[in-house]
Structure 1
Amino acid sequence: MNLLKKVTALLLSLAIVIGSIFVGTKTNSYAATSKSYIKELKIGKTYYYNLDGGKYKDKIKVYVSKNDNLLLRINDKTIKVLKYDYEYSKHNYNRLPYKCNVRIYNFNKKDKSLEIVLNYREDLQEGYRILKFKNSKCLLDKIYNDSYMEKYDSNTGAITLSEGNWGLFKDFTDAIGRFGCYYKIQIKGYKIYNPYTSNTTEDARKFKYTADKNLNAYTNTNSSKIAFTVKRDEKVNIYSFYQKGNKKYIKVKNSSGKYGYIKIGSSPLFEEWLMVR
C-alpha cells in the first residue's frame, strides 16, 4: 500500500472511530425518549410502585452496602447486586467520572408490569441492565453493554438501542474492527427478545472497507449461491449485521451497487481493521 493510500485509510478510520464512540448521536430522527421514565430512584430512599400488576404496591429501595456494592431491595425479601465496588468506581480517578442511575420504566403498557433499569457509564462505554420482578422474585435480568437507548414504544414494548462495538453484536469486531449500529429489542411480559439483525449507522455506511483477500458475497444468509466476489483491494460499504447461532454475516454493497452477504469468522477481512481496532 502506498503512502497516499495509507493516509486516506487512516483518515477514514479515524472518522469511523469517532462516529463509533459517539454512536448515541448517530441521527436526529430519534426522539430522546430515554428520559421518559416513571421515577428515578435516589439512594437510600424507599419507594412504592406496583411492579407486577398485583393487588399491592411493592416496596423498593436502592442503597450502598458496607462493602460499597450498589444494591436493590424489593419488599425486604429480594436483594440484587446492581453494581460491585460502587464507591470504588465512583472515586477512581484513573477512570472517567462514573455515572450510574436507577429508574423505573413502563416499556410495555400491555403487560401490566414495570421495569427497573440500571443505566451506567464508565470507561467510554454506556450500558443498561433491565430487571423485572413478580411476587418479589426477579424473573428478568438482562445486561446490554456499550449501548445507548434511543427510544422506546410503550405500545409494543420495542426498544431501539444504538451500539458501539462491544455490545450484542461484539463478535463482528473481530472481522471488521470498530463500528456503529442500531437495532430493536422487545419486552413482552417477563421475556426479552433480541434481534438477529442490526443496521449500521449512517457514518458507518459511508466508510469504505478495503478487502484484504477475495471474499464471496452470497445472495442471502440462507443461500450458497454467490451473488458476486469482492476482489482483494476492492472497496465495499457495510449496511447491516446478521447473527443467529453460529451463523454470522455482514451485508455489503460493492462499487457496482450490488448487495450481498459475506460470512465472517474470527479473522480480519479488511485492511483497515488494524487501524480502526
Structure 2
Amino acid sequence: MKLKKVSKFMTAFVLSLTMICTAMPLNVNAETMQGPEVDYDFDGKKEYPKILFQYDEYGNRFMTLLSMQMVRRIGMENDYISNEIDINPFKYRGSDVRVVDLNPKDKQKEIVIDYSEDGAQSYAEVFSFKNGTLTKLATIDTYPGFTNGRTIESSMNKKTNQLEIFSCSFYPFQHTYYRKYKLENGKLKDVTPNETNANIFDKPLKIKAKKSIKVLNQKMNKKLFYINSGETLTVLATNRKSQYIKVKNSAGKIGYVPITTKEWRNDMDFDRGYGDHRLKQYPNISMYEMFDDLPGFN
C-alpha cells in the first residue's frame, strides 16, 4: 500500500517537473549585457536596461538579441525588474546601446539599440521607459547595410531634439544620408524632409559628367548654367518627391537637375529609392552612361 502511494507521488512529481521545465525558456547559453544606468523616468532613481543575448554556435562572431528588461538597484541587489520585452530575434554582427532624450518636456529618456544583422541589413530599435513600463516605440529598417564594414549609426541632434539615423538610398544612384525622427505624443514620427543631403559616408558625393548637362533654377523654369562633358560635379542633395538632384559645379555655382523615374512598385521601393532613374533631359540614357565615378557599396 505504501509502495503504491510512493509510486503515485513520484509519478506526479515527475509530471509537474516536466511541466515546469517545458514552460521555462530554453535559453540555456544566454548571457546578459547592461546598458547605460541613468534616471530614465525622472523619478530620482536610476535604472539600466538588461539585455538577454546569445552567441551563435560558431563562437562569438554573431549574437542574437533576445529580450530586454529595466533593472533598478536597491543596495547590493537588483530588486526591481520591469516587464520583459522582445527584441527582433536575428543574428547580429554587433550592437550599441545608448540613451537619448527625444523630448525634454515629457520627463522620460529613450533607449536606442543600433545593430547590424548577419547579411548586412541594419536596424535601430527605440524604446521608452515610463510609469514602470518598458515600451518599444519603433523598429527602423535602414536597409541596405554596408558590406564594407560600416554599419548603422544613430545620433541625437540636441538643437532640433531629433534622432538622426545614418541610412542609404538608391535615388537616383546609391548614396548615404540621414533620416530624422521626432517623438510626438509618445510616438516616434518620421520627419525626414523631402530634400535630403547626399554624401558618400562622411565625404562629398562627386561624380564626373560624360555629357553636357543643363542646370536649372529651383522652379525648374530657367536655365542657370551648363555642366560640361568631363566636368566633375558635387551632388549636394536629392528629392524623390519632386524628382531632382541639387548640384554644384566646379566653379561653385548651385542649381537643380530634373530626374525622371519609372513608376515605383510599392511604398517600400519609393522609401529606399529603387527604380530606373534618369535625367529628364536624357530619358533614354542610363545613369551609368551619364556619369563616371558613381558610388556603390555592394
**TM-score, normalized by length of structure 2?**
0.52
Q: Structure 2: how far apart are the matches of 1:185 and 1:262?
A: 28
Residue 204 of structure 1 contacts residue 238 of structure 1 at CA under 8 Å; is this kept in 2?
no
1:129-188 residue CA offsets vs partner (Å, 9 max, x unmatched)? 2223555373621425354235531x6413455x4xxx2x5132xx233x3445754445
Deviations 1:220-244 (A, max 9, x none): 2x5444434545554322122334x
Q: Which residue of 2 aligns with 1:207?
A: 206
Does residue 1:236 correspond to 2:226, yes or no? no
CA distance in 1, matches of 2:233, 2:178: 20
Paired with 1:133 and 1:219, the residues of 2 have a C-alpha distance of: 48
Give the aligned partner of residue 3 of structure 1. none
Whether 1:111 aligns to 2:90 is no
**Structure 2 match to 1:129:** 125
- The structure in which a higher percent of residues are helix is 1
Task: Measure the CA separation in 2 of the matches of 1:271 and 1:65.
Answer: 46
- Quick one: distance in 2 between partners of 1:150 and 1:104? 10
Total equivalences in the alignment: 212
Once the two structures are TM-superposed, the CA of residue 61 in structure 1 deviates from its matched residue by: 3.9
User: Offset at 1:70?
Assistant: 1.9
Q: 1:137 to 1:241 in 2, by over 3 A?
A: same
Per-residue deviation, 1:48: 8.6
AA matched with 2:232: K
Partner of 1:140 in structure 2? 137
Q: Give the deviation of 1:216 after TM superposition.
A: 4.5
Q: Which residue of 1 aligns with 2:246?
A: 251
Computing the radius of gyration from Cα coordinates, the structure with the larger value is 2
Unaligned runs of 5+ in 1: 1-41, 90-97
Contact preservation (8 Å) 1:131, 1:138: yes
Structure 1 53/188 Cα, relative in aligned 2: closer, same or farther at 3 Å? farther
Task: Please state whether the residue corresponding to 2:105 is helix, strand or coil.
Answer: helix
8 Å Cα contact 2:51-2:66 kept in structure 1: yes
Structure 2: stretches of 5+ with no match in the other structure = 1-30, 57-63, 71-80, 146-151, 262-275, 278-285
2:85 is aligned to: 79
The answer for the alignment partner of 2:97 in structure 1 is 102
1:189 and 1:254 mapped to 2: Cα distance? 43
Give the partner amino acid of 1:271: F
Q: Judging changes above 3 Å, is the alpha-carbon distance between structure 1 residues 142 and 250 closer, same or farther for their aligned structure 2 residues?
A: farther
Instruction: Give the AA of the match of 2:242.
Output: K
Distance 1:48 1:239 in 2: 40
The normalised TM-score by structure 1 is 0.55
Task: Indicate the percent of aligned positions where both proteins have the same amino acid.
Answer: 21
Q: Please state how far the C-alpha of 1:118 moved relative to its aligned partner.
A: 0.8
> Which amino acid letter does the alignment assign opposite residue 158 of structure 1?
Q
For residues 206 and 143 of structure 1, the distance between their equivalents in structure 2, rounded to whole angstroms, comes to 25
Quote the offset at 1:100 in angstroms.
1.7
